[in-house]
């Protein structure tokens, strides 16, 4: 079949806008008649620099990112950022505490070191809201990286699980527990509060920014870190509420190999000294995950996938040109409308389709549901294949069906899928 004949709903890598695939094919062979492939050009060339600048500008415009934020292109995907968040934010917290101790103790270096060491082990906490498989993985990575600080298990839990959604839903993900039940560390002791805005595997999306993470008083600077890998650029976001937002490009923004990180500049400015960190017993962030180093080098610390960054820029440009206001609001309306079409059919056939998550937290991006039994699910998938509707199998860890409704899924494909869902339900009712 041709690319146009297939309606693809894969969860990541995800569908791409056809015009971008076509431009990409040309650029891969011969970029803008330069005689070179975009995969061949130097990441230090003026062309590469322009691609970085253009892609940054498109993202800043779509998301209305304030000037006080830096946009970084990184390696390592969402998983790389699970580690980067811990490395960078802990180093910054330690530096802040060192400066406070210095103000109090002058240049009594031994005492400063002892004070900060004690605070790291007794006070410091990393807050994780666990609402699905990806935030769980991120919290496990934090626990793994911090394990050496536990001093043989004498220290309390450095990773604070603010809430684990499974405890409120029979051991499974599918809801976001009420904020009244969350156990947050005080903003002063908390290195950051982490959440995953859209849980790709479990189909759970935060309906809005959690209220209890809003600043309660002047100077109450709770640093919020969000993984937006699977709902990036699908709705408006008040970037100023976050310390860090990140996501792999391969779902809503482009192809794999590049990770976007939006980070508040004051976090990069902290510049902890590696030797002090080592004395405290903390690693200095590895260069490749070190946001300050990446920022100082204009995201060209080492060889970057310029082709992937260019593709992300083209996807953003195509989103920008689809909507008059050049912002993400238009994309949000489209995403909502597409998701509503699917959920309406699922909800009106409850004897055939059972949506997994609770209604109030259903994802607009990853629509997860079950069909009565394995054999019927298989029949559903086979029938879908027969109509060239692909990429619908649920994640291997949870099974079921998952429809991924990312930015590049056109309405016409949603309509094709909707009519299949109707036909299948009619046969099974």
Quick check: 230 binds ligand PLP (CB under 6 A)? yes
Interacting span for ligand PLP (CB under 6 A) from 71-79, 318-326, 373-381, 402-410: 71-79
The SS3 assignment for 172 reads coil
Interacting span for ligand PLP (CB under 6 A) from 170-178, 226-234, 280-288, 383-391: 226-234
Q: Are 93 and 191 in contact (CB under 8 A)?
A: yes
Instruction: Map the footprint of ligand PLP across residues 200-219, applying CB under 6 A.
Output: 200
Query: What does the alpha-carbon distance between residue 147 and residue 328 come to, in Å, rounded to a whole number?
Result: 40
Quick check: 229 binds ligand PLP (CB under 6 A)? yes
Of 227, 257, 332, 377, the one binding ligand PLP by CB under 6 A: 227
Q: Are 309 and 258 in contact (CB under 8 A)?
A: yes
Of 23, 37, 49, 79, the one binding ligand PLP by CB under 6 A: 79
Cβ–Cβ contacts within 10 Å for residue 347, how many?
12
Quick check: 17 binds ligand PLP (CB under 6 A)? no
Nearer Cβ to ligand PLP (191/196): 196
Nearer Cβ to ligand PLP (47/193): 193
What are the contacts of 290-293 at 24+ separation with CB within 8 A? 290/84, 290/87, 290/88, 291/70, 291/72, 291/84, 291/88, 291/261, 291/263, 291/267, 292/88, 292/268
Nearer Cβ to ligand PLP (194/343): 194
Query: What does the alpha-carbon distance between residue 19 and residue 25 come to, in Å, rounded to a whole number?
Result: 10
- Residue partners of 303: CB distance under 8 A and separation at least 6: 43
Q: Are 278 and 261 in contact (CB under 8 A)?
A: no
Instruction: Map the footprint of ligand PLP across residues 117-176, applying CB under 6 A.
Output: 134
User: Least Å distance between CB 131 and ligand PLP?
Assistant: 10
Instruction: Map the footprint of ligand PLP across residues 295-354, applying CB under 6 A.
Output: none
Site string for ligand PLP, 98-117 (x = CB under 6 A): --------------------
Q: Are 321 and 258 in contact (CB under 8 A)?
A: no
H/E segment holding residue 127: strand 125-130
Number of residues that bind ligand PLP (CB under 6 A): 11
- Residue partners of 346: CB distance under 8 A and separation at least 6: 353, 355, 367, 369, 421
Interacting span for ligand PLP (CB under 6 A) from 77-85, 104-112, 309-317, 367-375: 77-85
Query: What does the alpha-carbon distance between residue 420 and residue 352 come to, in Å, rounded to a whole number?
Result: 13
Nearer Cβ to ligand PLP (77/313): 77
Nearer Cβ to ligand PLP (227/332): 227
Nearer Cβ to ligand PLP (76/383): 76
Instruction: Map the footprint of ligand PLP across residues 181-200, applying CB under 6 A.
Output: 196, 200
Query: What does the alpha-carbon distance between residue 285 and residue 81 come to, in Å, rounded to a whole number?
Result: 12
Of 15, 210, 248, 357, the one binding ligand PLP by CB under 6 A: 248
Nearer Cβ to ligand PLP (77/203): 77
Whether residue 73 has a cis bond before it, omega within 30° of 0: no
User: Least Å distance between CB 208 and ligand PLP?
Assistant: 18
Nearer Cβ to ligand PLP (18/79): 79
Nearer Cβ to ligand PLP (249/267): 249
The SS3 assignment for 54 reads helix
Burial track 49-72 (b if 16+ CB lie within 10 A, e otherwise): eebbebbbebbbebbebeeebbbb
Interacting span for ligand PLP (CB under 6 A) from 72-80, 157-165, 398-406, 417-425: 72-80
Quick check: 12 binds ligand PLP (CB under 6 A)? yes
Which chain residues interact with ligand PLP by CB under 6 A?
12, 77-79, 134, 196, 200, 227, 229-230, 248
């Amino acid at each position: 079949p041709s690319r146009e004949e297939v309606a693809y709903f894969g969860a990541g890598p995800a569908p791409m806008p056809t015009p971008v695939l076509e431009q990409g094919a040309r650029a891969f062979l011969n970029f803008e008649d330069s005689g070179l492939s975009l995969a061949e050009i130097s990441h230090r060339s003026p062309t590469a620099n322009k691609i970085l600048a253009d892609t940054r500008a498109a993202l800043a415009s779509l998301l209305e990112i304030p000037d006080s934020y830096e946009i970084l292109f990184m390696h390592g995907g969402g998983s790389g950022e699970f580690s980067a968040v811990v490395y960078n934010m802990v180093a910054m917290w330690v530096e802040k505490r060192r400066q406070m101790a210095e103000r109090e103790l002058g240049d009594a270096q031994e005492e400063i070191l002892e004070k900060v060491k004690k605070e790291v082990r007794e006070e410091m906490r990393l807050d994780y809201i666990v609402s699905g498989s990806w935030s769980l993985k991120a919290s496990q990575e934090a626990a793994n990286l911090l394990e050496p600080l536990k001093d043989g298990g004498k220290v309390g839990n450095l990773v604070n699980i603010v809430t684990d959604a499974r405890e409120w839903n029979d051991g499974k993900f599918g809801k976001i527990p009420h904020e009244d039940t969350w156990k947050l560390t005080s903003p002063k002791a908390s290195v950051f509060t982490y959440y995953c805005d859209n849980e790709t595997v479990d189909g759970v999306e935060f309906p809005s920014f959690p209220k209890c993470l809003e600043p309660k008083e002047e100077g109450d600077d709770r640093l919020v870190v969000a993984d937006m890998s699977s709902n990036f650029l699908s709705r408006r976001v008040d970037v100023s509420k976050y310390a860090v937002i990140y996501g792999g490009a391969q779902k809503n923004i482009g192809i794999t190999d590049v990770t976007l990180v939006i980070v508040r500049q004051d976090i990069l400015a902290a510049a902890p000294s590696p030797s002090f960190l080592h004395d405290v017993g903390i690693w200095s962030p590895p260069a490749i995950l070190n946001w300050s180093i990446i920022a100082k080098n204009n995201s060209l610390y080492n060889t970057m996938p310029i082709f992937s960054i260019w593709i992300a820029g083209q996807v953003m440009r195509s989103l920008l040109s689809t909507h008059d206001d050049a912002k993400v609001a238009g994309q949000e309306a489209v995403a909502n409308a597409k998701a509503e079409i699917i959920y309406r059919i699922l909800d009106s056939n409850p004897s055939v389709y059972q949506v997994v998550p609770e209604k109030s937290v259903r994802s607009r991006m990853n629509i997860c549901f079950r069909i009565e039994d394995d054999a019927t699910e298989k029949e559903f998938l086979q029938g879908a294949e027969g109509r060239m509707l692909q990429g619908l199998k649920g994640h291997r860890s949870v099974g079921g069906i998952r429809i991924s409704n990312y930015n590049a899924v056109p309405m016409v494909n949603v309509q094709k899928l909707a009519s299949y869902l109707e036909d299948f339900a009619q046969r099974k009712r």
